[in-house]
Chains A and B, each alone.
Chain A
Amino acid sequence: MSSADTTGFEKAVKERKFIFPDDNGAHPSFRTEWWYFTGNLSTKEGKNFGYQFTIFRNAISPFKQDTASAWRSNQVYMGHFTLTDIDNDKFYFFERFSRDGNKLAGVEANPFKLWLEDWTVCETGKSNYQFPEVRLSAKDKDVSVEFNLELLKSIVLQGENGLSIKSNDAGNASYYYTATKIKTSGRINIEGKEYSVDGFSWLDREWSTSALSQNQKGWDWFSLQLDNNTELMYYQLRNKDGSIDASSKGSIVLPDGLKENLKPEDVSLKPTGEWKNNTGKVYPSGWKLSIPSRNIELDITPAVRNQELNVSVKYWEGSVLINGTYAGKNVSGRGYVELTGYAD
C-alpha cells in the first residue's frame, strides 16, 4: 500500500485545525486513512475477548473521473475484523476489500456512517465528545459482533496538535487523533454461541499520504488501558538497521482527559519473549515497558500468542494483558499491540 505514487495527493506537512464532526469523515485528498477500533471485553461470568475492527481507505488516484457509472471509483476500502477468544486461545480474523463505487463502502461524517459492505459503524446518538455514539456491527463466517460504543473521554490530538511526524522527511507524517476510552457493550457470537459483553474500546483515526521513510521497517504500537483510568499510547518505529527511530512517540491520557506527550528517550521497551509464525518469522511476544520519569513499570503479555492476521499484508495485532506499577501503586489493565514489518 505504500509503494504507489503520491503525486497529486495532499500531505500532512503542518499543523491544522480539526473540525468535528467533519473530521470523523473521509479526507480523500490524502492517500491513506483509517478508522481503527480495538477493544477488550468480558462477560459477567468473566469470559474475556478482544476485538479489532478497522476500515482502511486507500486512494488509488487523487481524483475521480467524471462518469455516468456509479461503479467508477478511485477509493478502495479494506476492512480487517478480528476476534480473540482468550479463554479458548482462539483467534479469528477476516479481511475484505471493496471500492466505494455503487455505495458498497464509504464514510459519512454527519450523521456518522462508516461501512464496508455489511460491516458498519453507524451513529445512534450524539455524545458530549467529538465522536458520536455509534453501533458497530460486523459478521463473517461464524463470527459476528454488535457493540454500542460511547466515548468516556474527549478525543486527544496525538503528536503536535494532531500532526504526527513519522520520520525526518517532510510530509512523512499523518493527522492523528484518538479516543482512548470508549464504553463498549454488546454481543459476540461465535459459531452460534452468543455472549453478552462489556468493556472498553479505543479508536485511532489517522490520515496521511506518506508515513514510513525508506529506511524504516515497521512499528510496534501499543494502546494500553489501565485500571487507574489512565491510558497510554506508544509506538516505536524500527529502522532497517535495527535501531529505534527518533520519531517514535507516545502519550499518556490522565483520568481528567489531559494528554501528556512521551518521547522515545522517556520510554524503555524490552521484549520478554518471542513467537514464531507458521513461516518461521519471529515476532516479539511480551514486553517490559517502563517510563522511569513517571515511575511506571508494566509487564505486557499477549492474551493469546498467535494473533497474527494472515492477510494481504501480514501483521500481528492482538489483545494484551497488563500488570505492573504506576507511581508506586499496583495497576493492571488490558490493551492492544500492533506489530508490523516482522513477517516480510
Chain B
Amino acid sequence: MKIIHRSSLRYIFKHKLQFGLSILGIAIGVAIIAAIDIANISTSKAFNLSLNSVTGKATHRIISTSGSIPDSVYSFLRIQKGLKDIAPVVEDNITIGDSTKKSFVLLGVDVFAEKPFRDYTSSSGSDNKNGFKEFLTAKNTIVLSAENAKLLKKSIGDTINASIRGIKKKVVLSGIINNYGNPSQLENLIISDIATAQELTGKRGTIDVIDIIINENLKEDYVKNILPAGLELQRSSSRSDIAEQMLSAFNVNLNALSMLALIVGVFLIYNTMTFSVVQRKKILGIYRSLGVTENEIYRLIISEVLLIGFIGTVLGFLLAILISKNLLVLISRTINDLYFIVSVTEIEVTPFIVLKTLIVGIAASLLSALKPAREASQSKPGISIVRSNQESKILGNIYKLSVYGIISGLLGAAILMLPSKNVWLSYVGVLPVIIGFALMSPLVIKVSDKILTPLSGKLFGIAGRISSRSIIQNISRTNTAIFSLSIAVAATVGVGTMISSFRETVVTWLENGLKADIYVSAPSLISNSNDPIIPYYIRDSIINMKEVRNINYYSEFKLFQDGKLINILASGFTDPSSKDFRLQGNDDEKVISKFQNGEVLVTEPYAYKNNIKAGNVIQLKTDEGYKDFKVAGIYYDYSSDKGFVSIEYSVFKKYWKSNGLSGIAVYLKNDKDAETVRNKISSFAGSDVELIIRSNKFLRESSIQIFDRTFIVAKVLQLLSVVVAFIGILSSLMSLQLERNKEMGILRAVGFLPSQLFKISTLQSILMGLISGLLSLPLGALLAYILVFIINKRSFGWTMQLSLEPRVLVEAMVLAIVAAVLAGIYPGYEISKISPSAALREE
C-alpha cells in the first residue's frame, strides 16, 4: 500500500464519526431506493406467480367484453363446438379467517375440465377421505394450501368466517393441498368447486373466464370465429400486461419519490468529502511538495469516496432488505385498495436490483466527490496554506456563483417545460433546479449575515455576534451544511405539499361530486372497483319511491380491447341537472346534451394518457364490433389513474349487454329523511341482493380514509428523507467543530467560559437551521409545484390544486431548526470541553 493511501486510511479512521455519518447517509439513501425496488418487484413477482397458478397451462382465455359469460356459452363450446381443452372459471376476491384474516383470490373450477390446465386442483381432496365428495357436492366448501391452512390455524372440517364483496359468509375447509411445488404459487388462492364459487359470489348463471389451450390442433382464428358476440379471445399473458399497465404509474411514482432521498444522500457525501478535502488542504499541500502528482491526489480522493460509497451501498442494501418487509405491507395494501388483490410475503431480491443498487449508490457517491476531488488535486504545493484563502475565494465569487445558480435553475426549468409526458425527464429537470439553489446559498448566507449578525448581537451580546459572524467567516464549510439541510427540508416540504394538495383536491372533488343523499352500491373487496350486480328492479323501485326526487345510476365495467383495459362507466340520470360530472370548460349544458345524444365523456387522466381532446373520436369494442364514439368533453375524476370513458346509459345498453348496475345515487325530496329511505331500500332488496347503502358523508369519509392509507408510503419516504437530512446537518456541524478547535481554543484562552462556548455553538446551530429553513421554503414550494403540476400530472394525468399550507412551511422551519439544534448539541458539548492549551499547542 502506498504511503498516501495509508495516510488516507489513517485520516478516515481518525474521523470515524464523520465518515460513519456519511456512510450512514448514503446507506439510508440507497436503502430507500432499493427497498422500493424490492417491494415493487416482490409485489409484481407475487402477483405474476399467483396469476400463473391461476392461469395454469392455459395459453388463452375467453372473456366477455362486458364482464361475465353465461353458463350456456361454456356448454355450447364444449358440446356443440366440441372444444375439449377449455375450462370454466369463476374468480373473485375473498377474505377469510377468524383471528387472522387474509385476502385471497377465490378460484371456482370444474375439476373434470381441469386436467389440462391446473395440476393442483386435482389434489383438492387430499388429506380428507371424503374430500372430493364434499368439495363437489357440499355447499361452501373450499380448499387451501397447507401453508395457508396453517397460517389461519384451520384444519379439515373447520368452519371459517369469510367475506365476499362485503357479504359475510361461512366456508368449510374440505381439503388441504400438501407439498405442491412452490408453496407461494398457492399463497393467494382458495379453490372451490365452480358451483360453490357461483353460490358464494352470487354470480348466478355466469362464469368469468373460459380458459383455453390454443395449439396446432385448435387454431386461434377458428376459436375467434365460433365465439358468440361479446366474447373475446385473449392471450393469458395479457393479464399480467394489464396488471402492469395498472401499476405502472404507481410504481414510477414510488421510484421517483425514492430518488429524492438519494439526492439528499448525495449532498451528504458531497458535504463530507468537501470537508475532508478542506481540512486536509495543508497535508495535501505537503504531499504535493513531496512530489505527489495532481492526478494521484485526485485518484486518492476518488478512491476514498469509492470506499465510502461501497460500504454505504452494501449497508444500504442490507438495510433495504430489512425495511422492504414493512414497506411491502404498505405497498400491497395500497395495491389491494386501488388495483387488485395481491398477497406478498416473500421478499424477492433479483440480481438486477443488486446491480442497480450498487451502480446507483456508487455513481451517486462518485458524482458528489467530483468537485471536492478536483479541488484537492489543485492544492498548491507548500506547507503554509492560508485557510482564509478558501473563504475569501467563495465570498469573492458569491455573485458569480449566484449567476451560475440562476443559469442552472433556468436550465432545469427549460427541461421541465419540454412538452413531454415522461416522468423521468421531469426528475432530470429537478436536479439542475436543486443545484441552482445550492449555488445561490452563499448569497443567502451573506444577506442573512447582514441582518442576523446585528440582531443576534443585540439579543445575545458578544456570543451572539460571534456565532452569527463565524457562519460567514467559515462559509466554505457552513455553506455546504446549510444547503444540504435546506435541500432535505425542501424535499419534505415538496412531498408534504404534494400530498396535502392532492388530498385537498380530492376532498373538494368529493364534496362537489357527492351531492346525492344516499349511495347504493354493490359490495366489492377492491374499494375503487365496482362490478355491476345490482339488479335493475332495485333502480326502478327506488325511482318509484315517493320520497325520491331523482336518481343517477351507473354501471362500471372493464372493457378488454386488443390487450388493453378500458374502464367504462355507463351513467344515466333521471334529471340532467343533477349530473355529477365536473366538466372542463364552461359549456356544461352543451356537452351534457351531446352526451345524451350518444357522444362520450372521458376523465382527465384518460384524456391525458391517450392524447384525447374534446371532438376526437375513440373506438370501442361493443358487442356488435368496433364502434366510433365522439368525445363530447373531459371531466375531472380522481378515482382511477387509468381513467374512464363515460357513456350515457341508454347508449350503453344499445351496444353492450349488462347484468345490472354498479351504483345508484339517490336524491331525496327536501323534507325526506335519509334513514327511512335507506331502510326501505334495504327491505325491498331483500336477502337475495346484498347492497351497501351509505350516506354521502360516510362515503366521503371512507374515500378519504383510503386516500390517506394510499399516501402512507409517501409519508414514510418523506420521513426517511428527514432522517438523512438530520444526519447531514449532524455531520456538517461535527466537521465544523473539528475545524474550529483552534478558534475555540483562543476564545477559551481569552476568557470565555465553557458554557459560553456551548452557547455560541448552539446559537450558531440555530442560526444555521434558520437560514436553511428560510432557504428551503422557496425551494420546497418550487419542488411542490413541480411535483403537483408536472410530475403527478405526468404520472397520473390529473390536475390538482396547489395548496401550500402555512402549517407545512412552519413545520419546515421548525424541522430545520430542531434538526440543527439537535445535531449541534454533541459538537457544542465537545467544543465546551476544549482545553485551550491543547487546542493551541498545534502551532
Interface residues of A (CB under 8 A from B): 4-5, 60-61, 64-65, 67-74, 76, 97-99, 101-104, 115, 117-118, 139-140
Instruction: Give chain A residues whose Cβ lies under 8 Å from the Cβ of B133.
Output: 4-5, 60-61
By the criterion CB–CB under 8 Å, are B79 and A118 in contact? yes
Instruction: Give chain A residues whose Cβ lies under 8 Å from the Cβ of B564.
Output: none
By the criterion CB–CB under 8 Å, are A97 and B112 in contact? yes
Residue of A nearest to B76 (CB): A103
**Per-residue CB proximity of B68-92 to A under 8 Å, as 1/0?**
0001101100111010100010000
Contact partner of B195 (CB less than 8 A), chosen from A72, A97, A118, is: A72
A4 to B75, CA, bound (A): 29
A97 to B204, CA, bound (A): 24
Contact partner of B139 (CB less than 8 A), chosen from A61, A67, A98, A118, is: A67
Contact partner of A69 (CB less than 8 A), chosen from B72, B136, B137, B195, is: B195
A139 to B82, CA, bound (A): 9
By the criterion CB–CB under 8 Å, are B71 and A102 in contact? yes
Contact partner of A60 (CB less than 8 A), chosen from B84, B110, B132, is: B132
* B296 CB-CB contact with A under 8 Å: no
Instruction: Give chain B residues whose Cβ lies under 8 Å from the Cβ of A64.
Output: 137
A104 to B207, CA, bound (A): 15
By the criterion CB–CB under 8 Å, are A60 and B136 in contact? yes
**8 pairs of A and B residues whose beta carbons are closest in the complex:** A72-B195, A71-B195, A69-B198, A69-B195, A97-B112, A118-B82, A61-B137, A74-B137
Instruction: Give chain B residues whose Cβ lies under 8 Å from the Cβ of A71.
Output: 71, 88, 110, 193-195, 198
Residue of A nearest to B81 (CB): A118
* B199 CB-CB contact with A under 8 Å: yes
Instruction: Give chain A residues whose Cβ lies under 8 Å from the Cβ of B205.
Output: 70
Given A72-B137, A102-B74, A117-B82, 8 more A-B residue pairs with CB atoms under 8 Å apart are A64-B137, A68-B199, A71-B198, A97-B112, A98-B112, A99-B136, A104-B75, A104-B78
A67 to B74, CA, bound (A): 19
A142 CB to nearest B CB, Å: 10
Sample of 13 A–B contacts (CB below 8 Å): A60-B133, A69-B194, A69-B195, A69-B199, A70-B195, A72-B195, A76-B112, A98-B112, A98-B113, A101-B195, A102-B75, A104-B75, A104-B79
Taking each of B136, B193, B199, which has the highest tally of chain A beta carbons within 10 Å of its own beta carbon?
B136
By the criterion CB–CB under 8 Å, are A65 and B138 in contact? yes
B394 CB to nearest A CB, Å: 79
A83 to B491, CA, bound (A): 77
Instruction: Give chain A residues whose Cβ lies under 8 Å from the Cβ of B78.
Output: 104, 117-118
Instruction: Give chain A residues whose Cβ lies under 8 Å from the Cβ of B82.
Output: 117-118, 139
A61 to B139, CA, bound (A): 13
B62 CB to nearest A CB, Å: 15
A60 CB to nearest B CB, Å: 5
A181 to B113, CA, bound (A): 36
Residue of A nearest to B207 (CB): A71
Residue of A nearest to B136 (CB): A60
A98 CB to nearest B CB, Å: 5
B106 CB to nearest A CB, Å: 14
A105 CB to nearest B CB, Å: 9
Residue of A nearest to B113 (CB): A98
By the criterion CB–CB under 8 Å, are A69 and B204 in contact? yes
Instruction: Give chain A residues whose Cβ lies under 8 Å from the Cβ of B204.
Output: 68-69
Instruction: Give chain B residues whose Cβ lies under 8 Å from the Cβ of A5.
Output: 130, 133
Within 8 A of A (CB), among B128-162: 130, 132-133, 136-139
By the criterion CB–CB under 8 Å, are A65 and B139 in contact? yes
Within 8 A of A (CB), among B104-133: 110, 112-113, 130, 132-133
Instruction: Give chain A residues whose Cβ lies under 8 Å from the Cβ of B112.
Output: 76, 97-99
Instruction: Give chain A residues whose Cβ lies under 8 Å from the Cβ of B195.
Output: 67, 69-73, 101
Would A115 and B138 be within 8 Å (CB), given that A69-B199, A71-B194, A101-B195 are in contact?
A: no
A76 to B74, CA, bound (A): 18
A108 CB to nearest B CB, Å: 14
Within 8 A of A (CB), among B45-100: 71-72, 74-75, 78-80, 82, 84, 88
A122 to B130, CA, bound (A): 35
Instruction: Give chain B residues whose Cβ lies under 8 Å from the Cβ of A140.
Output: 84
Instruction: Give chain B residues whose Cβ lies under 8 Å from the Cβ of A68.
Output: 198-199, 204
Instruction: Give chain B residues whose Cβ lies under 8 Å from the Cβ of A76.
Output: 112, 136
A67 to B110, CA, bound (A): 16
B295 CB to nearest A CB, Å: 76
B139 CB to nearest A CB, Å: 6
Contact partner of B136 (CB less than 8 A), chosen from A73, A102, A103, A115, is: A73
A245 to B157, CA, bound (A): 41
By the criterion CB–CB under 8 Å, are B79 and A70 in contact? no
Instruction: Give chain A residues whose Cβ lies under 8 Å from the Cβ of B196.
Output: 69
By the criterion CB–CB under 8 Å, are A117 and B137 in contact? no
Residue of B nearest to A120 (CB): B79
Instruction: Give chain B residues whose Cβ lies under 8 Å from the Cβ of A65.
Output: 137-139
Residue of A nearest to B115 (CB): A97
Taking each of B72, B80, B137, B196, which has the highest tally of chain A beta carbons within 10 Å of its own beta carbon?
B137
Instruction: Give chain A residues whose Cβ lies under 8 Å from the Cβ of B84.
Output: 117, 140
Instruction: Give chain A residues whose Cβ lies under 8 Å from the Cβ of B74.
Output: 102
Taking each of A67, A69, A97, A117, which has the highest tally of chain B beta carbons within 10 Å of its own beta carbon?
A69
A296 to B88, CA, bound (A): 55
A101 to B78, CA, bound (A): 13
Instruction: Give chain B residues whose Cβ lies under 8 Å from the Cβ of A104.
Output: 75, 78-79
Contact partner of B137 (CB less than 8 A), chosen from A60, A70, A102, A115, is: A60
**Per-residue CB proximity of B183-196 to A under 8 Å, as 1/0?**
00000000001111
By the criterion CB–CB under 8 Å, are B79 and A115 in contact? yes
Instruction: Give chain B residues whose Cβ lies under 8 Å from the Cβ of A115.
Output: 79
Would A117 and B71 be within 8 Å (CB), given that A4-B133, A61-B137 are in contact?
A: no
Residue of A nearest to B132 (CB): A60
A190 to B369, CA, bound (A): 78
A191 CB to nearest B CB, Å: 13
A256 to B82, CA, bound (A): 42
A99 to B193, CA, bound (A): 11
By the criterion CB–CB under 8 Å, are B79 and A74 in contact? no
Instruction: Give chain B residues whose Cβ lies under 8 Å from the Cβ of A98.
Output: 112-113
A4 to B134, CA, bound (A): 12
A103 to B110, CA, bound (A): 13
By the criterion CB–CB under 8 Å, are A74 and B198 in contact? no
Would A73 and B137 be within 8 Å (CB), given that A67-B199, A117-B79, A139-B82 are in contact?
A: yes
A44 to B471, CA, bound (A): 113
**Per-residue CB proximity of B669-696 to A under 8 Å, as 1/0?**
0000000000000000000000000000
B76 CB to nearest A CB, Å: 10
A32 CB to nearest B CB, Å: 15
Taking each of B88, B132, B193, which has the highest tally of chain A beta carbons within 10 Å of its own beta carbon?
B193
A65 to B136, CA, bound (A): 10
A301 CB to nearest B CB, Å: 35
A103 to B71, CA, bound (A): 10
Instruction: Give chain B residues whose Cβ lies under 8 Å from the Cβ of A60.
Output: 132-133, 136-137
A64 to B139, CA, bound (A): 10
A68 to B195, CA, bound (A): 9
A132 to B790, CA, bound (A): 78
Taking each of A60, A67, A72, A74, which has the highest tally of chain B beta carbons within 10 Å of its own beta carbon?
A72
A76 to B78, CA, bound (A): 16
Residue of A nearest to B108 (CB): A71
A57 CB to nearest B CB, Å: 14
Residue of B nearest to A115 (CB): B79
A139 to B79, CA, bound (A): 11
Instruction: Give chain B residues whose Cβ lies under 8 Å from the Cβ of A69.
Output: 194-196, 198-199, 204
Taking each of A4, A68, A74, A140, which has the highest tally of chain B beta carbons within 10 Å of its own beta carbon?
A68
Instruction: Give chain B residues whose Cβ lies under 8 Å from the Cβ of A74.
Output: 136-137
Instruction: Give chain A residues whose Cβ lies under 8 Å from the Cβ of B138.
Output: 65
A147 to B242, CA, bound (A): 49
Instruction: Give chain A residues whose Cβ lies under 8 Å from the Cβ of B130.
Output: 5
Instruction: Give chain A residues whose Cβ lies under 8 Å from the Cβ of B72.
Output: 102
A71 to B82, CA, bound (A): 19
A222 to B130, CA, bound (A): 35
By the criterion CB–CB under 8 Å, are A103 and B75 in contact? yes
A115 to B80, CA, bound (A): 12
